[in-house]
Amino acid sequence: MPTILVIISGSGTNLQAIIDQCQNGTIRGDILAVISNVPDAKGLDRARRANIEALTLDHRDYSSREEYDQALANLIDSFQPDLVVLAGFMRILTPGFVNRYLGRLINIHPSLLPKYQGLHTDQRALEAGDSEHGATVHFVTPELDGGPPIIQGAVPVLPDDSEETLANRVQREIEHHIYPIAVDWCLNQRVQLTDKGVTLDGELLPSSGFQYNAKPN
């Protein structure tokens, strides 16, 4: 069975979606461990409840970003995972770390990339008057939130949306569905990062990735 290692900083709602779908067999893979740079991250409790090894590697114990990333890479390599999944990991990774796992390191970002790289994506979508907003799973490259998309999905922006309501709907209707899909595709080698872009079952995907159609709740 192919294996996953998940890295978090916070509450771990996407982690929970991945745990649930590993447990029910939708994701054909096993989570080896969850690592957080924040000692009291709620996501660590989610891992423990699922009997997954939960580890803390506090970035405040290291004098530089490079030193921390080297320690993180050493810890990851001790598990030898097939796929490294960033699920709300709130640190910018060094190019050396990213290149070490290139093609088997993925992230989810709450926007329809290439729109709104970086932070405060929901607020920026509202301020721009966008008619839709969403999330994208992408391969991680040295460019922040600039790696090639694997899959993305959108929800309509409603007239009375606040930053919170929009963010919650994107999480519930898009993120928690597309991240497990992408994890399974990667684990089972349906998705590949190539020189020409991302392929799914050998076919080159568009630059925005596979388009997921959310089912209304």
109 assigned to active site: yes
| Candidate list 59, 109, 120, 176, residue with the active-site label | 109
How far apart CA 165 and CA 141 sit, in angstroms, is 30
Decide: 32 and 191 in contact? Cβ < 8 Å: no
- Active-site annotation, residues: 109
